Amino acid sequence: MASIFTKIISGEIPSFKIYEDDNYLAFLDINPNALGHTLCIPKKEINEIFDLDDETLSGLMIFSKKVAHAIKKAVVCKRVGVSIIGLEVPHVHVHLIPINKMNDMSFESKINLTQDEFIEIMKKIKSYI
Ligand code: AMP
């Protein structure tokens, strides 16, 4: 069965898409740690990051770098933290999270955003790509 992220790629499930090319997609995390929390995924559906072939793995990092630079311009933060977990969704994804302190990388504190706030930050990040 297709992963929830494959359904996002196809548009079967709605998302706040930030940027995509032939091989990768960036979209906002629906349950964000912070404003601008973004996921970057390969369109190829693979469960674990280190099962990606070398070309897809390095391409994902280069794609994530481009998105992270745009996030840094769109959101006031010290760093864009990077995390790869995958316990919930078995489709490789890189979390890009605006942070100011170590604890901001904890997945225990979440923020609530309205639909309008998701749209606003999506547009802002997109404008810097
Ligand atoms: P993990 O697999 O543990 O790295 O976490 C999966 C992440 O995907 C979580 O941060 C979820 O909030 C996020 N997520 C799950 N479903 C969606 C969705 N439909 N749209 C955007 N983000 C999602």
CA of 128 to the centre of ligand 1 (A): 23
Query: How many residues appear in the chain?
Result: 129
CB distance 88 to ligand 1 below 6 Å: yes
Residue 85, ligand 1, Cβ within 6 A: yes
Would the CB of 15 count as within 6 Å of ligand 1?
yes
Contacts 24+ apart (CB under 8 A), 1-7: 2/45, 3/45, 3/89, 3/90, 3/91, 4/89, 4/91, 5/39, 5/41, 5/45, 5/89, 5/91, 5/93, 6/45, 6/91
Task: Check if 56 has its Cβ closer than 6 Å to any atom of ligand 1.
Answer: no
> Which parts of the chain are beta strand (E)?
17-20, 24-28, 38-42, 79-83, 94-99
Q: How many beta carbons lie within 10 A of that of residue 93, not counting itself?
A: 26
For 4-10+18-126, CATH gives 3.30.428.10
Q: Atom 5 of ligand 1 has which residue's CA nearest to it? A: 88
Verify whether residue 93 is a known catalytic residue. Answer: yes
- Alpha carbons 41 and 24: distance in angstroms, whole number: 6
Rounded distance between C-alpha atoms, residue 62 and residue 67, angstroms: 9
The per-residue pLDDT string of the chain (129 residues; one tens digit each, 9 = 90 and over) reads 789 999 999 999 999 999 999 999 999 999 999 999 999 999 999 999 999 999 999 999 999 999 999 999 999 999 999 999 999 999 999 999 999 999 999 999 899 999 999 999 999 999 999
Tokens 């906002």 belong to residue: 28
Does ligand 1 lie within 6 Å of residue 30's CB atom? yes
Q: How confident is the model at residue 86, as a pLDDT?
A: 96
From the candidates 37, 91, 93, 95, give the one annotated as an active-site residue. 93
Q: What number of other Cβ atoms are within 10 A of residue 97's Cβ?
A: 26
| Domain boundaries of the chain, sorted by first residue | 4-10+18-126
The pLDDT, as a whole number, for residue 1 is 78
Q: Residue 8 Cα, ligand 1 centroid: separation in angstroms?
A: 11
